[in-house]
Structures are given as C-alpha cells and as structure tokens.
Structure 1
C-alpha cells in the first residue's frame, strides 16, 4: 500500500533505501509477540522438541514474514522512484507495512505500476522460497518447513493484495483504471474505496459463514482475526472515500468558494465610513491598512455591531479591529491544491487571512470556512 506523506514516522531507523528511511514502527514488537504466540502451536508440529523451541521457531517465522513485507514495500518504492515518485519512508507496522511518497503519482499508469509491483514481488518471493525448499533445503528438515510456510504466506499476501479494493494494492490499480477512463483521480478513489468496503464485509461473511455451511463451529481465533482485518480494511476504505471526496473539493477550491469579499479603509477612518464603504461594495469584511499599505487589521463584526449608529461616526475603526499578523496573507489568484497549501502556510500566523490579487486586498479567508468547504 502507498500514500503521500511528508513527515518521517516515529520508530527505529534501520537504514535508507532509494533516499528514504526504512523504519520499524513502535507497534511492531507488539505484532511480533502476538504473532509468535499465534504461530507457536503450528511451530510445535514442525519440531520434535518442546519447551521454548516452538516459540523460537515461530519467532523466526515472524521475522521472515516481516522481512518479506519489507521486500514488498521496497518494490513499491524502487519502482516509484524509477517513475519519478520519490519515496518518503518504508515503514514496518503492526499491520505489516506501508510505503509513503512525497507526492501522489502523476499518471494512472504510474499509480497502477507502483501498486501492482508489491504483490508481484511477494508472489516472486513465494516462488523463490519454494525453489530453495525443494532443491536446496534438506528434505523433511525444519528449514524446509519454514521455507514452505514462507512461500505460503508470501503467496497469500501477494494474491490477497491484488483484490480490487482500497486500501489493498489491487484497489490502487482499480483506482488508476477508473482515473484513466474518467480522467478523474478522485472518482477513482471513491469507487475503489466502496469496493474496499465490499471486500471488508465479504471477508467477514466468508470467514463466519463457511463453518456454518459445513456444519462446523467457527474458531474463535479465526473470527477475531477476520474481525480485525475486516475492520482495518473498512477503515482504510472509508478513509479513501473521504479522501476522494475531499480531493474533489480541493480541486475546485478558489477564493470565490472560501473567501469573503472585503474592502479596505485607512487606520484613521471612522466605523461609519467603514460601514458605508462595505455597504457600497456589498462586501462582508473590512480590512484596515497600515500607513505602508499593508493589511494590518480587520474589523471584528461582533464588536462593530455593538457600537450604536449614533456613535459610529466618532468611533475609530481601529477600536473594533483585530490585528492581522505579518504573513497572514495569501495570493488570491491561486486555485486548487496550490491555494490550499498557501492557506495552510498562512494559517500558522492566525485564523484569518487576507487574500491579495495584484497587491490589493480583495477578500478575507477564515480557516473555519476552509474546513467547512473541505467537509462538503
């Protein structure tokens, strides 16, 4: 699985590949312990010894499994880099692993190729394990059994990840296909997200329903794993749907959709003059300019409303204004993702931002309005 990201995730650094850190998340030890105990009963059938030996073998299998996951993720990153998409981090987590990139894929073809190469790498590993176990490992040995188990695990991971539904790699391929046909990346994410929800529900139904069809009682451990994996898939699919819808909003983001038209007055103007200027221009906001022409403050509408009409002519506009910090400005000509990034940078200075076009203040943007727009 892959997604854009910019911050290095927390965890233990193993090294760097393709200019990106390889990180073991702090949740990994928990996964290793849990999986060791889960696989220990099976490992006991592979060995003739008792005591701690099955747990040692189970832990070795867990390490082999996570090493295979790392190969899967490195395949994503290396092919992505070859296609011009710089990987940001390779991360081993509680749920396996993921690869993050500094930007989203530029074309449907690149997105599909980067996605599909991970499952292909897992299937290739399965073949390699089978080859070594059948031709190099001693017949009937513990090593051969471990290699067979590694082949089965990698084969399952590769084939399962090809299922067409986000957050699986097959879902990314489906997303790219819809994107290529409709020329709408965000529609692809929504379609693949709904497919992922169907996969999550289908997985749980199959795991729970199959024993009943065969007249058996579902195994509690199997039910728990199915529920956890189903919940993980549902959560990832839901995030993909939400991201697709938000992305579509961002794509159409303009100053017209999130800005409130504003007029400007000097710092010596009265509140009455500011009200008249705004009314004449049918503007919702008033910005106060500093002597050097910089937007220095904006009129607090609540404070201004409390000033009686008979006192507005003698009330200086600065008395009902809130300062605008230096840097709380944005280029109002920007659109889409560029505008959102600029607003995000400017919002670090304050929740209200002055939008300028050709050096003139034309609107105020409130971060609350931007959040409301992104939520649809």
Structure 2
C-alpha cells in the first residue's frame, strides 16, 4: 500500500488537504474503487437492515470512506516517520489500490527504511484494536455494530496484508532492508524483495483459483476476479521493483572508464597529424581541442579526420575536423555511480557529448547514448 519513492512530478488528482507540509491527493481512480466497493458492501448492509431502502448505498459508502480513512492513516504514519528520519514527504495519494506516500529522496539506511515501512501496518493494527474495543459495547447486529466491526476487520486486513514480505507491500520494504543490511547493497535487497513479491502475486491468484479446485469445489467467480486483480497489481509492482533494483545496481557501477572513451586535450593550433601522434602516444581514442584559455572547446570528428589524406594531415589544422562543444559540456572525471550519471544528465542538456576532466586535465569523452546503453545492459 506504500511506495516510498519520489515521483518525477506531483500525482494527478484533487488536493483534499495537507499534512506535514505535503498535499493529500485523491486520485481519479479512487472514485472507481469507491463505486465498486459501495456496490460490493451494499448487499451486506441490506441483509442487516432491510428497511433502509435506497439509503443502503449511503451506508455502504460510509464503509468505503472508513476503509480509505484507514489507508490515509496508514500513509500518514509513513510520512510522519519519514520526516522524523530526515526525509520530507512530498505527497500522500489515495488511489484505486489504496494509497502511496512519496518522499523527497532515497532512504539513507536500512534501519530508516524498515522503520518507515513498518509504522504503516502498525498504525492499522492499532486502529483495529481500537475498533475491537469499541465493538464490545455495541450490538454487532446493528448498523453501528456493522460499521465498527468493518473498521476492525478492514484495518486488521490492511495491516496484516501489508506485512507480507514482498514488494510493493510494506513487508517487502522490510525484507529489502534486511537483505540490504546483510549484504550492504540496497539494490540486492530490492531485487530479492521484488522476486518474493512476484511469488506472493502468484500465490494470491492460486489461492483464489487453485485452492478451491484442490478442495474439490468450484472457484467463486468473485474471488477469482479479485485474486486476479490483486495478483496483477502485486506482480506489476514487484516486477517494477526488480527492474529498478537492477537498473540502480547498473548505475552504481558506472565510471568514466566504463561509459567513456579515453581522451587527450590538444591545443587548437595543432595539425591533424600531430593530434593523432599525441593521441596514439597516450593511448587515447578521442581528441579534445582546447581553446586558448585551455577550456574544452571542441572534439575531433574521427571519421572526418580519417578522410583527410595523409600528405595533407600535417598541414591541416585540427580545428578543420572539429565538432564544437558548448559551455558546460564537462563533468568531473572522479565521479562514479549515481553522481556521475546525474552530472552527465545535466551536462547533456546542452550537448550529447561531454568531456570528463580531472584537475582540469582531459581524461575522457562521454556520449549520452553510451551511458544509457551501459545502464540497460
């Protein structure tokens, strides 16, 4: 029910309030869930009180609102703990499948990740206990009793189901934190918890379809449909987690040497032949042309340089086969992993090719497409 990952932009929907500095958003898909669940609850309400008439749907909607209020408490618990651990919540969103909380950055430690994940289910289990205590003093056959017991059962379900150890559930984040702490690698934990989440998705559908068959009875169509929907939701979230974990692991391995080509800087006054000699002597594949001030100003188009006849290369200036570089098309060659990828991303807003510098010296030439290819592979 929770997804503590920062979104690229604010989710669409209606802002119905704010908490701890973040908007509470009601997603359009929530309306679909509200209508469907109201229709599902209505027969139960009618069975308890046949004299309500059309009001049966109003009461059923009350149950739905209570359910989503429980989900909101769940998400607010995540947000409050996140802020206590140094992360500012960016939004709380109520959706078709419950809700999610987005934070303003990656959780810094396994302990923080585990605490943020576990408080949501704990909040629901505390609410379930409170409803259970109130239920002792009301007639369970009355509408009030039905409402109270509904609050007890829905909170117990939300709390316990979210503790199942597989992403995208909160129990998955607990498993991720445990593997992360044991291996010292968050991405390994993400992939492991994502695969367990896939197993959970399959088991949910199997419970609805295969278990009845194993017991010698026909599966209930209602259970099969809900099992398929919930299983598909879990499979999608778990698969996204597996892909994300693998991608982030690949990002963590990115270096200038792995995504760039070794380069050397030469003066703008050099000839093509001399630039080639300097590159060969240093083992460089690329040549960067420096401005009079020593700034990377261009790089050599190798195809164009190769087309220059050998007898003319010694007298042809290297600037004749140059591709200009705009200002800002440089990155720190000592950066690695996410920092390097982010720096290349900023620099390639101006140029698809950037120069890596170490202490002002040219060490590499990086093309954006090579970074993308390295991460995907």
Question: TM-score interval w.r.t. the shorter chain?
Answer: over 0.9
The answer to whether the 8 Å contact 1:68/1:122 transfers is: yes
| Count of residues in correspondence between the two structures | 375
Aligned pair 1:15/2:17, yes or no?
yes
Residue 83 (structure 2) aligns with: 81
1:282-305 deviation per Cα after TM superposition (whole angstroms, max 9, x unaligned): 212121222222212222334434
Say if 1:62 and 1:139 are closer, same or farther in 2 by CA, change over 3 A. Answer: closer
User: What does 1:50-61 align with in structure 2 at a 5 Å threshold?
Assistant: 52-61=54-63
Residue 374 (structure 1) aligns with: 375
Among residues 11, 31, 39, which one is paired with 1:29 in the alignment? 31
- Provide the C-alpha distance between the structure 2 equivalents of 1:143 and 1:303, rounded to a whole number of angstroms: 82
1:109-151 deviation per Cα after TM superposition (whole angstroms, max 9, x unaligned): 221111111111111111222222332x555321221221121
The answer to whether the 8 Å contact 2:78/2:101 transfers is: yes
Residue 247 (structure 1) aligns with: 248
Residue 298 (structure 2) aligns with: 297
Structure 2 length-normalised TM: 0.92
Say if 1:69 and 1:276 are closer, same or farther in 2 by CA, change over 3 A. Answer: same
Residue 323 (structure 1) aligns with: 324
Residue 205 (structure 2) aligns with: 204
User: Is the deviation greater in 291-300 or in 254-263?
Assistant: 291-300
CA RMSD of aligned residues (A): 2.1
The answer to whether the 8 Å contact 1:252/1:336 transfers is: yes
Q: Give the CA deviation at 1:195.
A: 1.1
Residue 42 (structure 1) aligns with: 44
Residue 365 (structure 2) aligns with: 364
Tell me, which stretches of 5 or more residues in structure 1 are unaligned?
A: none
The answer to whether the 8 Å contact 1:2/1:76 transfers is: no
Q: Give the CA deviation at 1:21.
A: 2.1
The answer to whether the 8 Å contact 2:48/2:141 transfers is: no
- Provide the C-alpha distance between the structure 2 equivalents of 1:208 and 1:278, rounded to a whole number of angstroms: 66
Residue 67 (structure 1) aligns with: 69
The answer to whether the 8 Å contact 1:2/1:115 transfers is: no
Residue 345 (structure 1) aligns with: 346
Aligned pair 1:333/2:334, yes or no?
yes
- Provide the C-alpha distance between the structure 1 equivalents of 2:59 and 2:213, rounded to a whole number of angstroms: 33
Q: Give the CA deviation at 1:25.
A: 2.1
Structure 1 length-normalised TM: 0.92
**Structure 1 SS opposite 2:4:** strand
Say if 1:325 and 1:25 are closer, same or farther in 2 by CA, change over 3 A. Answer: farther
Residue 103 (structure 2) aligns with: 101
**Structure 1 SS opposite 2:107:** coil
**Structure 1 SS opposite 2:28:** coil
Q: Give the CA deviation at 1:97.
A: 0.6
